[in-house]
Amino acid sequence: MLLTGDLETEAERQLVRLEKQQLKADILQVPHHGSRSSSSRILLRSIPGHTAIASVARYNAWQMPAKSVLRNYREHAYDWRDTGQSGQISIKIEANTVQVFSFREQLVPRWYHQWFGVKRESR
């Protein structure tokens, strides 16, 4: 798992340049909440991950994650999860397995947790 915090593009480039051989993570915490100033293609190409987790608020004023960031993760075949859509996201790590659980979709799938209105506008 790679925890990136508020890493932005220039720092991502430095990380890849200095630590490329060490960048092995199944799960990537999406840098800077998915802002346009992060999640560069070079970072995503350098990490052989499969799950991206973003901490974002639903209906946030900054409209994060950026559509271009979502597209980058899709193009690099990441399974995208974010707290705005899923609520709490939990990760269970055991000897040889990693499991990701989403509160709304998996743990408490009640009718009142379903999307309302037009889904593309309910982000």
Q: Which pLDDT tens digit goes with each residue over 6-50?
A: 999 999 999 999 998 888 899 999 999 888 899 999 999 999 878
Residue 4 placed within a domain: no
Q: What is the pLDDT of residue 110?
A: 60
As given in the structure block, the two tokens for residue 115 are 């999307």
Range name among 6-10, 49-53, 101-105 with the lowest pLDDT average: 101-105
pLDDT on residue 86: 87
Give yes or no for a contact between 103 and 39, defined as CB atoms under 8 angstroms apart.
no
Asked, for residue 2, whether it belongs to a domain, the answer is no
Instruction: Report the percent of the chain where pLDDT is more than 90.
Output: 54
**pLDDT, position 77:** 94
Judge whether 1 lies within some domain. Answer: no
Average pLDDT over residues 76-105: 90
Residue 112's pLDDT is what?
55
Domain carrying residue 72: 9-121
- In a domain, residue 42? The reply is yes
What is the value of pTM for the model shown? 0.79
Q: Give the count of domains, the chain.
A: 1
Residue with tokens 């970072």: 43
User: What residues have CB less than 8 Å from 55, skipping those under 6 apart?
Assistant: 29, 30, 33, 82, 83
Q: Which amino acid is present at 77?
A: A
- Asked if residue 97 is part of any domain, the answer here is yes
Which two structure tokens, joined as six digits, stand for 118?
């037009």
Instruction: Confirm whether 3 is domain-assigned.
Output: no
